[in-house]
A and B are shown apart, each in its own frame.
Chain A
Amino acid sequence: MSNASRALQRQLGSALRRSLSIVLSIAASMVVGSLIMLWYKQNPLEIYGLLLKGAVGTQRSVFISLQRATPLIFTAIASTIALRAGVFNIGTEGQFFIGAIMGTYVGYAFKLPMVIHLPLALLVGFLSGAAWAFVPAIMRQKLKVSEIITTIMTNYIATFLISYLTNYPMRASPVTDQTPPVEPTARLAQFVELNKNLGRATQAHVGIFVALAIVVLVYFVFKRTRLGYEWRMVGTSSSFSEFGGIKLDRAFISAMLVSGGIAGLGGAVEILGVWRTYKNLFASGFGFRGLLAALLGGQTVIGSTVAALFYGSMEAGALGVDWAAGVPRQLIDILVGLVIFFMAAEGMWAFVQRIKWVRAPGTERRTTKDLEV
Chain B
Amino acid sequence: MDPQLVDILQRYLFNVANLQGMLRLATPVVLAGLCALISSRAGILNIAGEGFILFGAWFAVAGSYFLHSAAAGVLAAILSGLVVGGIFALFSLKFRAHIIIMGIAINIFANAATIFLTRAVFKQAGAFSDPSIQGLDPIHLPIIRNIPVVGDVLSGYSVIVYLTWILIVATTIFLYRTPWGLHLRAVGENPQAAETLGINVQRIRFAAVMASGFFASLAGVYLSLGHLKMYTDQMAAGRGFIGMAVNTFGRGEPIGVFLASLLFGLVDTIGWRLQGERIMPVYFVSMLPYVATLLALTVFTLRQQQARKQAAAANTKEE
Contacts and interface: CB of A to CB of B under 8 A. Distances in A.
Contacts of B290: 153-154, 156-157, 160
Interface string B165-207: 0000000000000000000000000011001000001100100
B108 interface: yes
A161 B301 contact: no
A86 B207 CA distance: 29
B101 A344 contact: yes
A347 B94 contact: yes
Contacts of B43: 371-373
Nearest to A135: B294
B162 interface: no
Contacts, number: 150
B128 interface: no
Given A289-B108, A333-B109, A344 B98 contact: yes
B293 A291 contact: no
Interface string B106-127: 1111011101100110000000
B255 interface: no
Interface string A68-81: 00000000000000
- Mostly, the B contact residues are helix
A38 interface: no
Interface residues of A, number: 54
B13 interface: no
A39 B117 CA distance: 11
B105 A163 contact: no
A373 B46 CA distance: 9
A266 to B, nearest CB: 18
Contacts of B93: 371
Contact of B283 (A167, A341, A366): A167
A257 interface: no
Given A328-B116, A346-B96, A368-B192, 6 more contacts: A153-B293, A161-B283, A332-B112, A371-B205, A373-B40, A373-B43
Interface of B: 40, 43-45, 47, 91-102, 104-109, 111-113, 115-116, 119-120, 191-192, 195, 201-202, 205, 238, 241, 244-245, 248, 281, 283-284, 286-287, 290-291, 293-294, 297-298, 301-302, 305
